[in-house]
Structure 1
Amino acid sequence: MEFAIVLIMVLIVVAIVAVKFSVEEVSFPFMSKPQLFSPVEHQFLDMIEKAVGDEFRVMCRVKLTDLLALRRNTNKKMAKSALLRAGSKQLDFVLVSKTDMTPVLALDLVHSLGKEGHKTTRDFFVTGALDSAGIPHARIKARHGYKIEDIKACIEAKIMPLRRRQGKLPIPIAHEAPSLFTPTKRPTRPVRSSRQVAA
């Protein structure tokens, strides 16, 4: 009887030690990275934050599925395929409204560092998905010599529809009706001909 109790206790200790080592060595083989962003990403993030000032928040590494939702009554097969493709996509930066966190602009950093580079080829699925949701998408090439004004100009060019909705830009009208106050050429009376009319 005592031998059985001792054997059970030994087995319990062995099991606890085995679980401890398996958890430490197999399940969580991680260590902290030295930095969250690469130097290029960090520099670009700094420039974006300075370009937008206090107007927008800058969110980093946002999954496409966190940004977009499926339309109602979407075909199940199409929905599954779209979600599967969207699940592997990620945007480098997303500008959101500070008041309600509404997405305003998606930004991707393009650079050719390393063997394959980073987003050097346009992803038409990402662009099409964002376009269908009405979210502008900008792809900016990473290079030295950018000024804050350059980044700001790029952002402003992409968010013009938002600015128009906010009333901060005039809405261009293609065929404007003549205004009552627009000076027009005054009508002139016919000039009398110098020729004599035959009787």
Structure 2
Amino acid sequence: MEFAIVLMMLLIVVALGAIKLSDSGVAFPFRRKPQLFTPVEHSFLNLIEQAMGHEFRIVSRVRLNDIVSVRQSANKKTASQALSRASARQLDFVLVDKRDMTPVLAIDLVHNKGQDGYKAQKDWFVTGALDAAGVPHARIKVKSGYSVDEIRECLENKLIPLRRLQQRKASMPTLNPEPPKRPTRPVRSSRPAAA
């Protein structure tokens, strides 16, 4: 009987705790957004996929410090300041190589509506960091009516150094060519064996 009373009290305490935790105002005041992208970002993502999706993967909303790193020769104070500034910056889209996922091109959309438009002013820290890391940066003004060819032309202009590097690598002779295929076991002689 005493065991049943203790068990009932324990059950009541657990129930009260569950009610308190399930209160919607206390735990996590979040709700799901109806869309991940704005309509402008979504249509632009579709244009980029049609223009470059066969060759590159398109990654969206990437923090700057996800694609650049601080040189080891930098002192600790400068490195920590640069990392904190880079973690606060975000790129709208990044093209990455499908084979090894290396960043190839950073893309920012520029809205010029109003005086304080979205990324209307060029961020010199982002541009400088990407230039130092060797990642091209394309800033594209948002307007309606872009065609796939216009987007492809704009992005290909930024990818000219990458294309030249790819051509140089393709035309360079390999230092260690593949050895010719040889038998892996000794070849038998066609002469009869001596008795």
Relative to the length of structure 1, the TM-score reads 0.74
Amino acid at match of 1:66: D
User: SS of the residue aligned with 1:27?
Assistant: coil
The count of corresponding residues between Structure 1 and Structure 2 is: 166
Residue of structure 1 in register with 2:20 after alignment: 18
Instruction: Name stretches of at least 5 consecutive residues in structure 2 with no aligned partner.
Output: 169-195
State the shift of 1:120 in Å: 0.7
CA RMSD, 1 decimal: 2.4
Task: Determine the C-alpha separation between the residues in 2 that align with 1:47 and 1:161.
Answer: 22
Task: Determine the C-alpha separation between the residues in 1 that align with 2:134 and 2:160.
Answer: 12
State the shift of 1:57 in Å: 0.8
The percentage of counterpart residues that share the same residue type is 52
User: SS of the residue aligned with 2:84?
Assistant: helix
State the shift of 1:119 in Å: 0.7
Relative to the length of structure 2, the TM-score reads 0.76
Instruction: Name stretches of at least 5 consecutive residues in structure 1 with no aligned partner.
Output: 169-199
Residue of structure 2 in register with 1:135 after alignment: 135
Amino acid at match of 2:20: A
State the shift of 1:14 in Å: 3.0
State the shift of 1:108 in Å: 0.3
State the shift of 1:32 in Å: 1.5
Q: Deviations over 1:140-192 (max 9, x none)?
A: 00112322111111111111111001118xxxxxxxxxxxxxxxxxxxxxxxx
Is residue 108–residue 139 contact of structure 2 (8 Å, CA) maintained in 1? yes
User: SS of the residue aligned with 1:26?
Assistant: coil
Task: Determine the C-alpha separation between the residues in 2 that align with 1:26 and 1:112.
Answer: 40
User: SS of the residue aligned with 2:83?
Assistant: helix
1:78 aligns with 2:78: yes
Q: Deviations over 1:48-98 (max 9, x none)?
A: 111114111111111111111111132111111111111111000000111
Task: Determine the C-alpha separation between the residues in 2 that align with 1:17 and 1:39.
Answer: 40
Task: Determine the C-alpha separation between the residues in 2 that align with 1:31 and 1:164.
Answer: 48
Which moved further from structure 2: 37-46 or 109-118? 109-118
1:123 aligns with 2:142: no
Say which one has the larger Rg: 1
Task: Determine the C-alpha separation between the residues in 1 that align with 2:82 and 2:127.
Answer: 13
Distance 1:8 1:133, change over 3 A: same
User: SS of the residue aligned with 2:88?
Assistant: coil
Amino acid at match of 2:47: M
The 5 Å alignment of 1:1-199 reads 5=6, 10-21=12-23, 24-113=24-113, 116-167=116-167
Task: Determine the C-alpha separation between the residues in 2 that align with 1:146 and 1:8.
Answer: 65
Which moved further from structure 2: 25-34 or 52-61? 25-34
Residue of structure 2 in register with 1:188 after alignment: none
